Amino acid sequence: MTKAEELQAVAILVPAGFSDHAVERIERTFRRIAIERADAALVTDEMRSTVRGIASFAGINAVMMDALPNLELIASFGVGYDSVDVGHAAANNIMVTNTPDVLTEEVADTAIGLLINTIRDLPRAETWLRDGSWAKKGDYPLSRLTLRARRVGIFGMGRIGRAIARRLEAFGLPVAYHNRRRVEGLAYQYHPTLKGLAEAVDTLISVAPGGASTQKAVNAEILSALGANGVFVNIGRGSTVDEAALAAALANGTIAAAGLDVFAAEPNVPKALLDAPNASLLPHVGSASQHTRRAMAGLCVDNLVSWFGERRPLTPVPETANVRARG
């Protein structure tokens, strides 16, 4: 049997709504098995006996993994993987991969665009033109905030955080950061606590991953430390923010403005944030260009091909880096 024939025999489970580009490649390379959603209640006897890999946007929990006794690999689409129970995967010798790097620059671009939109109120200025207010009422009001002389803190100095920092340097803005630990070789000022970072800057950009350790990390205390001239931007995960505290901080002047691309219960956005005139909101479009999504889909499938063809992953998540192929 040739290598291509061996791969064709490998059954990959693909929940509905997955990338069309990835699905096309999976169908050409493997035996694709469709499922409505990643729900153990929908797993059939055939799936239990044949499925060796999952390719998915959606979260994969422990129950779903346990329903597939031959599961070897979860190829997760996206850089964030907090919706996958990686601890359970590691404990059961299941590899988990994600799609880092290929979306870094796109998300960093979006972060800077969202920051400028938030500070200069550009979406509302465009609406002022489009709805005829410019012609009827005159010039759009001067923006209260400016990017000039701002001090920026980045919460989460990973690949995307560093790409955002490089862009901010081009604007001539000083950058500081908070991580679980200092990044070796990085010249930006490091703050061992998020509160210390917020106290030292007036602009906070969160690129932090989701998970228990960052749940509602940006809370009332952090927003208060940021101050009345403060601007908060979140391009990471909605779960890292106490949204009720953020809405209150925007309403009572604790901070000046916020720009959000992610939310805790997407696609549901709290009404208090929707109603906030000093919030710029996007529908989780950080990496949402055709170019970048195709690259992410390609890497997702490349991980499947490498694992089942060469018995090694290309981009394993740290928690499962020690998982070894069976047989």
Whether 148 is catalytic is no
For residues 115 and 259, is the Cβ–Cβ distance under 8 A?
yes
Structure tokens at 118: 């938030």
Whether 237 is catalytic is yes
Exactly one of 25, 162, 237, 293 is catalytic; which is it? Answer: 237
Exactly one of 31, 182, 284, 294 is catalytic; which is it? Answer: 284
Question: Cis peptide before 209, with omega less than 30 degrees from 0?
Answer: no
Cα–Cα distance, 325 to 226 (Å, whole number): 47
| Cα radius of gyration (the chain) | 22
Closest CA to 303 of 5, 2, 10: 10
How long, in residues, is the chain?
Answer: 327
Exactly one of 24, 169, 221, 266 is catalytic; which is it? Answer: 266
| Angle, vertex CA 59, rays to CA 53 and CA 65, nearest 5 | 45
Cα–Cα distance, 303 to 192 (Å, whole number): 35
Cα–Cα distance, 254 to 224 (Å, whole number): 6
Cα–Cα distance, 188 to 174 (Å, whole number): 8
Catalytic positions are: 237, 266, 284
